[in-house]
Amino acid sequence: MSAKILVVDDDAAIRRLLRNTLLRAGYGVVEAGDAKGALRQAAVEHPGAVLLDLGLPDRDGLSIIPQLREQGDLVILVVSAREAVDEKVAALDLGADDFITKPFDSEELLARLRVALRHRGSSATAEKVVRRGDLSIDLDRRIVCRDGAELHLTRKEHEVLGLLARHVGRVVTHERILAACWGAGEEARVEYLRIVIRNLRQKLETPAPVGSVIANELGVGYRLRSDH
């Protein structure tokens, strides 16, 4: 099975064209019409690649490239009508893998997508299991086990833990987690995140001492420890 692709464009006709092109090529497809929806879909669906328009109604597409990159080792292909060299350079500097100018040739787009996916080694069906001591986190199947017993997490707990697991040993800021898991505009709602982290610790770390799996970087964010 081929990778799942997230198509982000406010033009429904363009989304339909890309969806049909990708489906014929054997890819899975999810869609978003704005930046908020793109970040939400990326956090929930864990696509192998994103086809990103820059002219989105709520935010400039350039501004969400770093947040999409935080989701993990996914491919980001900008598909935009903007032709200025400085726009292309900015997109690539921010973390995009390629820049395709509209109007585009469908076969060329598919070829560039294949090359980028090969380069990144990304696949929506690739097995990704993070193990820390007696804890295992299956990122693709959204299954978390301790000592072989499956833990029952809420949807939000899965999203937050999955994001931390994709950046083991690295701090993920409060703002990045909130934007990815709650949506753009929710970056100040740190109390929401604290509740989810507290519940995760209770489920993941019992009977281990609090803090043994998820570390709190005071005033900055959280990280999944790499030394357990």
| pLDDT tens readout for residues 138-166 | 887 789 998 888 999 998 999 899 888 88
- Homologous superfamily of 4-120: Response regulator (3.40.50.2300)
Burial track 29-54 (b if 16+ CB lie within 10 A, e otherwise)? bbbbbbbbbbbbbbbbbbbbbbbbbb
**Given the DSSP bridges, would you call strands 149-151 and 214-217 parallel, antiparallel or unpaired?**
unpaired
Q: What is the CATH number of domain 129-224?
A: 1.10.10.10
Nearest CA to 50 out of 32, 36, 63 is that of: 32
pLDDT reported for residue 207: 57
Provide the pLDDT confidence category of residue 54 given band limits of 50, 70 and 90.
very high
What residues does CATH 1.10.10.10 cover in the chain?
Answer: 129-224
58: exposed, middle or buried (C-beta count within 10 Å: 0-12, 13-18, 19+)? middle
Neighbours of 82 (CB within 10 A): 18
pLDDT reported for residue 22: 95
What residues does CATH 3.40.50.2300 cover in the chain?
Answer: 4-120
Neighbours of 185 (CB within 10 A): 13
